Structure 1
């Protein structure tokens, strides 16, 4: 819901930073993988109750996530790079939740399972629609810089990062924060399922999908 606004606010500093990186030998995929390593490290620090370090690495992960796409557009974007980026994002999000389950399994494990289920709901409806949108050559109207058709919702990347930051700042409130966010994710998933179905239903298909 906030991604379009956030992308507008961050566009200029991200573009400037990417231009500086473009002068080096770094590739967009290297930035993606470095950010992914930061993200997995953040999850590991959550699991051992080191929230300040986890928060720092989480923010580094998000900075890299913005820079890799901007750098790719300067040096030449590829489908493989877009694929790597989205896979790393989804693994990172789930890893952070697992970190909170590990640090306090008695209180956090059950709601962490529900939260990951809600992530699966948003992620599956998001990616399945992207595949079929590409097949039917649907235009990326709202997010022209994305490497695939980007179906929005209540909980997008910006909201997810705000949620994870809050969890690192207020780990004792992980349960209620996760419950609220999971509810919003389920709402997003069902909205995407419904709107995606209505969008694709009128389109002719050469193959059946079961």
Structure 2
């Protein structure tokens, strides 16, 4: 929900950094993979309850995630790079939640399972719509710079980053925060399924009507 406002604010800084990286021969996929590895190091730190250090790595991962796209756009974004980026993002998101579950299984495990379940809803509806949107050439005016189509929702990248920050700053409240965000994710998934279905259905009916006439 907040991505449409936060993205324009951070793009200038990302572009300047991406220009520097390009001049030094750094490739987008190198940034993607490095950012993913940085993010994954946060998992054992979370499990060991080193929340401040983990937060630094989580933020580092998110910065790298923005940089790889900015760097790719200086040339020409590739489908392979977009696939790699989004796949590693979903693994990273679930990995962070797993880290908190391992830190305090008795207290956090159930809430972590519910949150990952809700992530499956937002992720599946996102990716399934991306496939069909590409097939039917459905426009997405809010996120033209993305490699994959986005269908808006209440829980997007910005909200998830804020959630992870709160997790690290307030680890004792992980169950409450996780369950609250899971509810938002489930509502987001429901909205995406409803709006995505109707968008694709209308596109199919429009093509059928054109073929008949």
Q: Please indicate the TM-score interval, normalised by the length of the shorter structure.
A: over 0.9
Segments of 5+ residues of structure 2 without an aligned counterpart are: 208-213
Task: Give the count of matched residue pairs.
Answer: 206
Q: CA deviation at 1:140?
A: 2.4
Partner of 1:127: 127
Runs of 4+ residues deviating >3 angstroms = none
Q: Write out aligned runs for 1:27-176 (5 A).
A: 27-176=27-176
Normalising by structure 2, report the TM-score.
0.94
Give the distance between the partners of 2:44 and 2:81, measured in 1 at CA: 25
Give the distance between the partners of 1:197 and 1:84, measured in 2 at CA: 26
Q: CA deviation at 1:75?
A: 3.0
Q: CA deviation at 1:76?
A: 2.7
Aligned CA-pair RMSD:
1.1
Normalising by structure 1, report the TM-score.
0.96
Q: Does 1:203 align with 2:203?
A: yes
Q: Which has the higher helix share?
A: 2
Q: Which has the larger radius of gyration?
A: 2
Segments of 5+ residues of structure 1 without an aligned counterpart are: none
Residue-by-residue CA offset, 1:64-123 (whole Å, 9 max, x unaligned): 000000101113321000000000100000000000000000000011100000000000
- 1:28 and 1:81 in contact (8 A); partners too: yes
